[in-house]
């Protein structure tokens, strides 16, 4: 069987289902027809990127709060 290329949007949505909605990787793997290995790799890649963006937003909000601007 050939290699299937999933879009970044598909991968991010799959990661959100694991990280935000709490679906087990094994269940999601079967439902989406994706290997558990791929889901773990996507989670590592996309969850770290999402955490970095979230931390940047938190730091920006803290900077605004510390300057007294609203």
Number of helices (H), then strands (E), in the chain: 4, 0
Cα separation, 3 vs 66, whole angstroms: 50
User: Distance between CA atoms of 15 and 23, rounded to whole angstroms?
Assistant: 10
**Per-residue pLDDT reduced to its tens digit, 29-50:** 999 999 999 999 999 998 876 6
- Percent of the chain surpassing pLDDT 70: 66
Report the domain count for the chain. Answer: 1
2: in domain? no
Residue 41 domain-assigned (yes or no): yes
Residue 4: pLDDT above 90?
no
Q: Does residue 3 lie in a domain region? A: no
Residue 62 confidence (pLDDT) above 70: no
pLDDT of 42 reads: 95
Under 8 Å between Cβ of 13 and 47:
no
Q: Which domain holds residue 60?
A: 8-67
């Amino acid at each position: 069987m050939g290699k299937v290329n999933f879009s970044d949007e598909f991968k991010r949505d799959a990661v959100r289902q694991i990280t935000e909605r709490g679906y087990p990787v094994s269940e999601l793997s079967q439902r989406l027809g994706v290997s558990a290995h791929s889901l773990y790799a996507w989670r590592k890649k996309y969850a770290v990127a999402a955490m970095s963006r979230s931390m940047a937003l938190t730091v920006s909000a803290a900077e605004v709060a510390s300057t007294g601007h609203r």
